[in-house]
Structure 1
């Protein structure tokens, strides 16, 4: 928890109805910050004038950009819109952040990598996105790095789920009640990220962010599992009798290519901000309790 003597932070949270934005909203009262929660209806992040006016009117000194085009498969045919939200908007937020001396925290993804690695990805590893979504997110990162607003960071994360919105955990809970048997992919390996844990980390580190060049950090929960293992955990904890069978990626074709391996090395963020990252199952248990699935 940050110390309450910290400077007053007036924080603009974009995309505040998404998973991470909604979790920040719920945690907001625990922090000595002033929050401005926005979405498409009250700020157009594709317009520099709109961003500038909002930031000047409300004396914004931190932006947490949770807005993103995240429909991974749809992006394959909706290239222009994915680019607008994931690249162009990030460039505009970066330009205004630099102009008005605002800290910008931008959320990115493991999809910037090709998933062919055999050990956890460090931040400096060569990017090679395999999907339109991944490319649009990488392009957004590059725009931000190029503009280089002071005291700004990119956080790459993976397999995000939450109490809010649509996600893998909620899909498994629904299918677990409807079906006796379910095939889930076992040859894609990574770590789930509980949006509440990511939101907490972002809010905790705000006062500590100080850098002259945009820094990239990885964040997911701890642990290593496949989607199959994750589904098994969900069924078991929720006491559902649905049998989960392992299947290979080719048996479940999707328009966008998924990374087979997306483990992120979190050493940099842990050491820099002196944080502990919870184990993935602790996040899952907390989420299921909030969803009233378990006591």
Structure 2
């Protein structure tokens, strides 16, 4: 929830600028999970119970989903992203998988470069509590190890390096990126008709420690007055006060307490990390934490 729908905005900014980005070695091997782990729960939009099983993958395979009756393989890359309301959706080989952003955000932040994700029971990732906290805990349970290719060799983890500033604007939204030796994200949101949210800004130098402490547990949010319209449109059938924080324009937060005073803005950073992880290819990461 949380007024998403900007994935195409990000990906359109990234696709045409390959000349402005190069990949540099980090001196560290690509990683994968040391064992498999699964989580089950309700899909946000479908309302059905689904299970996501996370398994180790070989170096260079990257992160990918296996979904649908034909067990289609859907790489978690920009080229497989499609426009969809209020969630990030990937498609390929006649199948799709929805609401992937929280899981991908956790995998990226925890340094899981290669992972096979099998979906059972539907085409949606379980929502859990509406944050990435449950996925971080699942990854910690599985543990990490260096990924190997089919010959038993490690592959170097690469990170993108931006060579020139980038700017893109659409309506009242914009994204700007500048070359930097560190990953720093500043995000702002403005909900003038919902005073309890209002205008918020959150900024941090992003690394695994900061992500785990300051971002992972922030939950998705929605505006109470918009719930009926979204449900009538076939969306958020599985949304509830258990997997989202709900704010009324007139009455404020309906299911407090918040985990952070600026939890909505922090959740936007969580989503952004997940969406930008689609820039990764063949085990290369959006950021080397």
Q: Structure 2-normalised TM-score? A: 0.26
Structure with greater helix share of residues = 1
TM-score normalised per structure 1? 0.26
Greater relative contact order structure (CA < 8 Å, 6+ sep): 2
